[in-house]
Amino acid sequence: MKPINVGLLGIGTVGGGTWTVLTRNQQEITRRAGRPIQISVVADKNLALARNVTGGGCRLTDDAFSVVADPHVDIVVELIGGYGVAKDLVLKAIENGKHVVTANKALLAVHGNEIFAAARSKGVMVAFEAAVAGGIPIIKALREGLTANRIQWIAGIINGTTNFILSEMRDKGLSFETVLKEAQRLGYAEADPTFDVEGIDAAHKLTIMSAIAFGIPMQFDKAHIEGISRLEAEDIKYAEQLGYRIKLLGITKRKTEGIELRVHPTLIPARRLIANVEGAMNAVLVQGDAVGATLYYGKGAGAEPTASAVIADLVDVTRMATADPENRVPHLAFQPNAVADIPVLPMAEVETSYYLRLRVEDKPGVLADITRILADQQISIDAMIQREPAEGEMQTDIIMLTHLTREKRIDGAIASIEKLSVVRRKVIRLRLEELG
């Protein structure tokens, strides 16, 4: 049977892994797909690198636009990344009637609505399993495996760099800055780690999962995003004493008033499986009404784990290429005319529990003043630690865990607490999720 010809755009880490795995497992992949899948052309600005990876096994070019215009290419695999030229290439490939496979979460989170609409109008597929959680098949699970369920919430460790940093901070008691330098030395963090440590990468991935889970458009611009760069080692230690671990979580929930879409450091009970995901690993916890909680765990990045997802998409597209477009699995799980314009809730309306750390003067009446302010905002305390000050110290830390409350109430309480003359620094506030 005639092979499917693939045009590969970018042969860096993931592109090189895709070439290697597709070549190594060619026979097995052909048996699954029903026909051979071959990379017939690779586009990369670094032709020497492309030649070294492919060993001259296909045509090479430094002009990616010639690939998306090539009439002999059936599927374009976009592994360039970013919002710029990648968007132009993907839209041009679609315009030319080619199916697209991409690992570009940033592109889809920001421009996915436009890209999927273009693909529908041309009757082609855009597949993107590799865009979220590397080798973990979470997109297929949400879009197909859990299709009988009304998804209630998703909570995910979906950035390996930040999870490595938090694991090291907890294990070794080191500061964020110290561990970040080590992560960069080991290759877990980029020279400019902003997208990872400030939560932007996780928010891109969460936006995609939220759209699939709840049948809503991509709404990255409405996500609440906080990273880990201001997290202090003391809070990791105090959380541990209270039976919690801190992870950077992407959380999206279906509520009566709308959808929660948020990324931030989060306390999770240490007994939860997801709290024990360490190092650079990823995990996604999905709660469905019929199935209950399901956990997906594995490598969220790397050459071959991500290539595994890219090639799975190639096989899916190959199988479905001749199917009537109306009978294919929709890009965002729900039929295009059934996508709902449900609002994303502002953070002030989000309801969760909180961890508060207050540095106060060690004198009588302080705790009474603080609890009165919390009571005025209808916030009740679940647990508390008051650290004994060291000999000669005149200040101490009070750590509180609250019951469920709205963010706007916590905001009001913190504003009032910080006005007290006995409070010596800004209140540290972290969110807490039981994930039960």
In this structure, is the dihedral angle defined by the CA atoms of residues 146, 148, 150 and 152, taken in order, positive or negative? negative
Where exactly are the structural domains of the chain? 4-135+303-338, 138-299, 348-432
pTM of the predicted structure, to 2 decimals: 0.96
Q: What local confidence, expressed as pLDDT, does residue 150 receive?
A: 97
The CA-atom distances, in angstroms, between 155 and each of 203, 246, 264 are 12, 13, 11
Distance CA(213)–CA(143), nearest Å, equals 7
Tell me the CATH number of domain 4-135+303-338, given options 3.40.50.150, 1.10.1200.10, 3.40.50.720, 3.40.190.10.
3.40.50.720
Provide the annotated active-site residues. Answer: 205
Q: What local confidence, expressed as pLDDT, does residue 326 receive?
A: 82
* Tokens 């492309």 sit on residue: 50
Q: What local confidence, expressed as pLDDT, does residue 392 receive?
A: 75
Mention every residue, 6+ apart, whose C-beta is less than 8 A from residue 108.
102, 115, 128, 131, 204, 208, 218
- pLDDT tens per residue, range 355-373: 999 999 998 999 999 999 9
Mention every residue, 6+ apart, whose C-beta is less than 8 A from residue 228.
162, 165, 166, 176, 197, 199, 248, 265
Considering the domain 138-299, what is its CATH architecture? 2-Layer Sandwich (3.30)
Q: What number is the average pLDDT over the span 93-110?
A: 98
CATH 3.30.70.2860 fits 348-432, yes or no: no
- pLDDT tens per residue, range 107-166: 999 999 999 999 999 999 999 999 999 999 999 999 999 999 999 999 999 999 999 999
pLDDT grade, residue 436 (50/70/90)? Answer: confident
pLDDT grade, residue 393 (50/70/90)? Answer: confident
pLDDT at 91 over 80: yes
